[in-house]
Amino acid sequence: MSAAATTLKGTQPAPTNEGLEKSRSPLVEALLRLRKNKTAIAGLIIILIFLCMALFAPWLAPHDPIKQSLYSKLKPPIWDAKGTWEYVLGTDDFGRDLLSRIIYGARISMVVGVVSVSISLFFGTIAGAFAGFYGGKIDNVIMRFMDLLLAFPSILLAIVIVAFLGPSLRNAMIAIGVVSIPRYARLVRGSVLEEYSKDYVQAARALGARDGRLIFLHILPNCLAPLIVQTTLGFASAILEAAALSFLGLGAQPPTPEWGAMLANGRALILRAWWAVTFPGLMILFSVLGFNLLGDGLRDALDPRLRD
């Protein structure tokens, strides 16, 4: 009797680790894999540091970034023999505090990244989705135009666009966004072509779903993984290209504290004031490195073929 009762009351076995892993959503699995990637975490930390600099620049900067002082020009950093604590990273040839300009430069670089990537992501996604979904003449027209844009070096095409629109930070962001559109268009087109032949798309079409609903509610959500990776890497490219345009005098205009413009201003002082070019250059290096490391980690985490 007791044995039968025990059999009837039998307890279910505790869930194993394998069962828990199978029950996790793809997003949770991707986050767990990303957490194990040390280089991606390092990139994320670097990006968070720059984001904090951008968001809290008015409170972090010890001086006005555009205020000039001829009595304080070319002051060295504090660890130099003549350095003072008032200017931790020294000053430029106009007596402006370099640390304050670098902190405010992080705000400009983040804005450039957000605006230019948003432009290229929006138009590239729309163009690639329509090209992959409709195919035929629409595909040929859109992709031949993208091939035309890709035929020019990106920085050269950006210079041409800025020269036509006029030198300014706003026009530089537009130019960077335009030259990056083909990257997103080609990526989305390939993903849409892959998803279009799957059963869930055909089932939605059989149920009467219109083209817009199929594209934006069914297909594009399944193309997010490569888009997230490309967007992260796009931030690095945007910061680098914006710095290059500002260095050439086509981006941010004086006295805007932009890292590329600071490099251009300090290149003539490299032998007398090494700090005027070293610190802005390091900011560009680390910001680009942070986005590249995070982008590589996201690619590994979101790729289902790399699952353990």
Give 68-77 pLDDT, tens digit per residue. Answer: 888 888 888 9
Give residue 137's Cα distance to chain centre.
Answer: 33
Q: What is the pLDDT of residues 276-286, one digit of tens each?
A: 999 999 999 99
* Paired residues of 145 in beta bridges: none
* Paired residues of 97 in beta bridges: 91
Residue 3 has pLDDT above 90, yes or no: no
Of 8-17, 94-103, 110-119, 129-138, the range with the lowest mean pLDDT is 8-17
Name the DSSP letter for residue 256.
-
CB 224 within 8 A of CB 231: no
Which residues touch 52 (CB under 8 Å, ≥6 apart)? 60
Of 11-15, 163-167, 191-195, the range with the lowest mean pLDDT is 11-15
Using pLDDT thresholds of 50, 70 and 90, give the confidence band for residue 8.
very low
Q: What is the pLDDT of residues 18-53, one digit of tens each?
A: 444 455 666 677 777 778 888 999 999 999 999 999
Q: Nearest-CA neighbor of 224 among 188, 193, 189, 200?
A: 188
CB 184 within 8 A of CB 129: no
CB atoms within 10 A of CB 278: 17
Domains detected in the chain: 46-306 (1.10.3720.10)
Rounded to a whole number of angstroms, the distance between the first and last alpha carbons of the chain is 47
Work out the burial of residue 206: count CB atoms within 10 Å of its CB; fewer than 13 is exposed, 13-18 middle, 19 or more buried.
Answer: exposed
Phi, psi of 135 (to 5 degrees): 60, -160
Residue 43 tokens read as 């990139």
* Alpha carbon distances (Å) from 278 to 54, 65, 92, 187, 263: 20, 17, 12, 36, 8
d(CA 253, CA 167): 8
Residue 144 has pLDDT above 60, yes or no: yes
Mean pLDDT of 145-173: 92
Q: Nearest-CA neighbor of 50 among 277, 293, 284, 227?
A: 284
d(CA 298, CA 160): 33
Better pLDDT: 247 or 304: 247
d(CA 157, CA 76): 38
Residue 143 has pLDDT above 50, yes or no: yes
